[in-house]
Amino acid sequence: MKKITLLGLFLFSGITIYAQDHKKWTIEECVDYALENNITIKQSELDTQLADIDKSQAVMNFLPSLSANTSFNINTGANVNPATNQFENQTFRSANGGVNSGVNLFSGLQNWKNLQRSKINIIASQYQLDKMRDDISIFVANAFVQILFNKEQIKVLEAQNKITKENLERTKELVEAGVLPQGDMLEIKATDATQIQQIIAAENDLFISKIGLAQLLLIEDYKNFDIAEVDYGLFPDAILNEDASTIIAKAKQVVYDVKVAEASLELAEKDLELARTQYYPKLSAFMGYSTRWSSTNIDPVTGGNMAFIDQLYTFDGTSFGVQLSVPIFSNLTTRNNVKRSKVNVERNKYLLEQANLDLESKVYQAYNDAKNAKKSYEAAMQTAEARKLAFEYAEERYTVGLTNAFDFNQSSIQYENAQSDVVRTKYEYIFKVKVLEFYFGIPIDQINPN
């Protein structure tokens, strides 16, 4: 759990100012706000946009290319007249222009495979984004539950301290009446001071946990940040009635860890296909139209300079044809690229296998954690009930002078610890069940109040 919290703080670095007006945040609002404003998610969304652009380019690669060109020259000395293709030893001006188009007829289905790869990349980018959203939701839920635990812990400590203060007043009266020794009152005073220290420490833990969640949400107003005062009790734990293998099968459908690895393997396999297209000959077709003009061209009819428009019509021309390029030797570049792609495919196969194993391990761990957390909570409840009866019995004996203040305080401390264990195990149980439900496709932020 500590690793998750540290990773969460790393992922959510960066802070923005948000005017809260003492707003009380629910877990749903916390998760929604984090998903909307988190920098890492915004970066992942940019990756999906780039994937869409790559797909658009892959589609455009099927279309013919089209380009136009023109130039204007001033020539001095002996130069070839571009209109007559004859040497002229004089200064003249010339211009030419044209339009060219080309189309790829065959290149080992490279364009088609690029289009397929771009579609897979879009899916992979979306999986990455969805996985990031899931991770952030877990981080936020963990931080939220931590605040709930700290709030409940303070209530337990304050309730215990209230009882201690009442006993202190009663003991003071008995000491003044000569029924109890002075040492009993001093013992309870020491307990009261210790409990006050515990309350201060718990309040500090609560403040730190609020800061942690505020940082996850990129909110700077730590002082006024708080979560809704709702009694989040236990909820149905029907998920524990499911078999672990059933949860694993469901997790592979809804959790994105395996899907990301599967998409990465598909991309690697498509990259291998693209690398092999370099072995194939490339056939392309082209067509062009060009025309030219020169300031020294003589009209054979009038004997004067030929008009600009007449030259454009007279000296224009078209060209078209096909071009075949056959790879013979390229310093083994293609061969080595294919080898690299094969290695990458094998690596991604192992990564997919590892992703499946990791997911199974995580689900089994979450399943056992949730079951053990339930047992721990039930045991803590039983212990707290027993400690309560023991404390009440000790209190009665202390009131009538049948036990001393030290033994009474020991019973009180044990009861206090038992109550704290109930709070701790309760919220551990809530979070661990929610993690298990997450693997079963139930959103992590669905915690229903009593």
pLDDT, greater one: 68 or 164: 68
CA 204 to chain centre: 30
Show Cβ contacts of residue 339 under 8 Å, excluding neighbours closer than 6 positions: none
State residue 450's pLDDT score.
46
pLDDT at 102 exceeding the cut of 70: yes
Residue-by-residue DSSP string for 313-355: HHS-EEEEEEEEE----STTHHHHHHHHHHHHHHHHHHHHHHH
Q: How confident is the model at residue 90 (pLDDT cuts 50, 70, 90)?
A: confident
Tell me the pLDDT tens digit for each residue of 223-238: 889 988 776 666 567 8
Mean pLDDT of 295-314: 78
What six digits make up the tokens of 258? 């395996």
pLDDT at 140 exceeding the cut of 50: yes
Mean pLDDT of 151-170: 88
* % residues pLDDT > 90 (the chain): 52
Q: Which residues face 24 on adjacent strands?
A: 226
Whether 202 contacts 156, CB under 8 Å: no
Helix axes 110-176, 333-399, angle to 10 degrees: 10
Which residue, among 46, 191, 54, has the nearest Cα to 129 in the 3D structure?
Answer: 46
**Tokens 């998760």, residue located:** 31
Tell me the pLDDT tens digit for each residue of 380-426: 999 999 999 998 898 888 877 788 878 888 888 888 889 889 988 98
Where is average pLDDT lowest: 121-125, 165-169, 382-386? Answer: 165-169
Sequence-ordered strand ranges (E) for 26-136: 65-75, 78-80, 87-89, 92-106
Whether 199 contacts 157, CB under 8 Å: yes
State residue 427's pLDDT score.
87
State residue 10's pLDDT score.
39
State residue 303's pLDDT score.
63
Long-range contacts at 295-298 (CB < 8 A, ≥ 24 apart): 295/92, 295/93, 295/94, 296/81, 296/88, 296/90, 296/92, 297/81, 297/83, 297/84
Query: Where do runs of H (alpha helix) occur along 71-223?
Result: 110-176, 182-216
CA distance 317 to 303: 24
Tell me the pLDDT tens digit for each residue of 275-292: 999 999 999 999 999 998
Show Cβ contacts of residue 137 under 8 Å, excluding neighbours closer than 6 positions: 31, 34, 35, 438, 443, 444, 445
pLDDT, greater one: 34 or 406: 34
State residue 349's pLDDT score.
97
pLDDT, greater one: 177 or 356: 356
Q: How confident is the model at residue 442 (pLDDT cuts 50, 70, 90)?
A: confident
Tell me the pLDDT tens digit for each residue of 267-276: 999 999 999 9
Show Cβ contacts of residue 228 under 8 Å, excluding neighbours closer than 6 positions: 24, 25, 26
- With b for 16 or more beta-carbon neighbours within 10 A and e for fewer, the 430-443 pattern comes to bbbbbbbbbbbeee
pLDDT at 134 exceeding the cut of 50: yes
State residue 199's pLDDT score.
94
Mean pLDDT of 21-30: 82
CA distance 153 to 202: 7
Q: How confident is the model at residue 312 (pLDDT cuts 50, 70, 90)?
A: confident
pLDDT at 207 exceeding the cut of 70: yes
pLDDT at 337 exceeding the cut of 50: yes
| Plot region of 315 (φ>0 → left; ψ -120 to 50 → alpha; else → beta) | alpha
DSSP 305: B
pLDDT at 7 exceeding the cut of 60: no
For the chain, the average pLDDT equals: 86
- Residue 245 CB coordination number (10 Å): 12
State residue 16's pLDDT score.
40
Residue 161 C-beta-side C-alpha neighbours within 13 Å: 16
What six digits make up the tokens of 372? 């053990």
* SS3 assignment, position 20: coil
Mean pLDDT of 28-43: 90
**Amino acid at site 276:** R
Where is average pLDDT lowest: 219-233, 305-319, 328-342? Answer: 219-233
**Tokens 């708080």, residue located:** 226
Angle at 199 between CA 195 and CA 204, to 5 degrees: 145
Mean pLDDT of 137-143: 91
State residue 447's pLDDT score.
57
Mean pLDDT of 100-106: 94
Mean pLDDT of 82-110: 85
CA distance 183 to 21: 50
pLDDT at 4 exceeding the cut of 70: no
Report which secondary-structure segment, H or E, holds 50.
helix 39-60
State residue 445's pLDDT score.
67
The model's pTM is 0.79
CA distance 210 to 218: 12
State residue 434's pLDDT score.
87
CA distance 270 to 121: 10
